[in-house]
Amino acid sequence: MADENRIDKKSQQGEWSSRFAFILAATGSAVGLGNIWKFPYITGENGGGAFVLVYLLCVLLIGIPLMMAEIMLGRRSKENPVHTMELLTAEANADKNWHYLGWMGIAAGFLILSYYSVIAGWSTAYVFKAFFGSFSGASPSEVKALFDDFVASPMSLIFWHTVFMLATMIIVARGIEKGFEKSVGLLMPGLFALMILLVGYAMTTDGYFKGLDFLFKPDFSKLTADSVLVAMGQAFFSLSLGMGAIMCYGSYLPKDVSIAKASMIIAGADTVVALLAGIAIFPIVFSNGLEPNSGPGLVFETLPLAFGNMFGGWLFGVLFFIALVFAALSSSISLVEPAVAWLIENKGFSREKACLWSGLVAWVLGLGTVFSFNAWKNVKLFERNFFELIDYLTANLMLPIGGFCIAVFAGWIMKQEHSKEELDLPGEHLSFQVWKFLVSYIAPAAVFLVFLNVVGVL
């Protein structure tokens, strides 16, 4: 049937203009608030070095093979995640229920986007705070008060959440060529340069080595079953895996691009940015007598201190928060892309209409996160407020479960000749065997064991 139709339909939506454009967009999806906002604060909450080590192992052993699997599945079907699973199960004569995996991805995307937009709204507000000189010469307590007062006001959080969500939807509505590539290409290198600058500043503080020790000296007594789950969840979250975002991007990928190389570049860049954020933030924490485990406000309570006290800090502060907002945008567009692609391809929506509805749903859900920092701060279920619940549900449960299923599908269900063909690693070649082993055994077993550990079975 529709093989040709499908290709026609896809060519209307476009393909990446080059290998570089794909890598840039996928790196744009991976690098975002997860690296600069989330990685440091959860590292702080989970005791530092040992947590970082588990995180790095998860990126290497689960993340990279799974990223290859997601790109491969997307490219083979050239469809949205729901349809990808339908097509590929048909191709492999497998059970139809696999397409629920695509659905779970779309749901996870909405849930993550809902709170992602709120935090990205904070970053947008901080562009203006930096611009109006709010950090200049500020003390740790002033910077903390600035943050606390800001999040205490639901109206301002709603305002910035709305601004960010609108920006996301406008970019997605413009389509992949014009919308994604330009915005990502400009600010990624800028963000990277600013991270290096911040690390340079951190080196001049007296907490530098204490910060490095905290990040890189593992103290395994601090590792709990739950923190291992959080580290694993963060590997999925940070690499945008387990929900079909990367699968969706893979569906626009031309045949001649090496999936293995692209995956290593994307995962490498993502990891470097997260580590740079940690190396910049923890020295500031220790040299100012702050607490590493102060939670989601950590980056907003530390980096302004650097900008407020370094030479040229006004300019760098403004540029940094602008770059952070763009990094967040290039991630948020990938959170909603699976849903938008599905609405266009299956429901006949126009791109604009698909964006409008997706944005609206995620915006409404985001209000729950807005109130988690003020009016509903103490409304808790399972000891977690609304934001913490959504974060736990998505990053620690839905993404790893999605990743588990994708690994099983790629390793066990999909015909080996198809994966060989897509990955273009010769079958007898060691690299293919290593990938196959990691994706068939290590990744699913690791997710399974971590879950068992958390529920107390191990």
Is residue 266 at the binding interface for ligand PFF, with CB under 6 A as the rule? no
For ligand PFF, the binding residues in 183-242 under the rule CB under 6 A are: 237-238, 240
Q: Of residues 24, 27, 29, 275, which one binds ligand PFF by CB under 6 A?
A: 29
Q: Measured from the CB of residue 321, what is the shortest distance to ligand PFF in angstroms?
A: 15
Of 46 and 238, which has the nearer Cβ to ligand PFF?
Answer: 238
Q: Of residues 23, 27, 28, 34, which one binds ligand PFF by CB under 6 A?
A: 34
For ligand PFF, the binding residues in 130-149 under the rule CB under 6 A are: none
Is residue 112 at the binding interface for ligand PFF, with CB under 6 A as the rule? yes
Task: Tell me which stretch binds ligand PFF (CB under 6 A): 16-24, 25-33, 431-439, 445-453.
Answer: 25-33
Q: Of residues 24, 25, 30, 85, which one binds ligand PFF by CB under 6 A?
A: 30
Binding-residue pattern over the window 71 to 110 for ligand PFF, x denoting contact by CB under 6 A = --------------------------------------x-
Is residue 334 at the binding interface for ligand PFF, with CB under 6 A as the rule? yes
16, HSE (Cβ side, Cα atoms, 13 Å): 23
Of 205 and 331, which has the nearer Cβ to ligand PFF?
Answer: 331
Q: Measured from the CB of residue 141, what is the shortest distance to ligand PFF in angstroms?
A: 29
390 and 115 Cβ atoms separated by less than 8 Å: yes
327 and 191 Cβ atoms separated by less than 8 Å: yes
Q: Which residue is nearest to ligand PFF (CB)?
A: 34
Q: Measured from the CB of residue 191, what is the shortest distance to ligand PFF in angstroms?
A: 12
Q: Measured from the CB of residue 92, what is the shortest distance to ligand PFF in angstroms?
A: 24
Q: Of residues 35, 46, 168, 396, which one binds ligand PFF by CB under 6 A?
A: 35
Q: Measured from the CB of residue 35, what is the shortest distance to ligand PFF in angstroms?
A: 5
Is residue 118 at the binding interface for ligand PFF, with CB under 6 A as the rule? no
Pick from 339, 335, 188, 341: which is nearest to 252 by CA? 341
Footprint on this chain of ligand PFF (rule: CB under 6 A): 29-30, 32-35, 109, 112, 237-238, 240, 243, 245, 331, 334-335
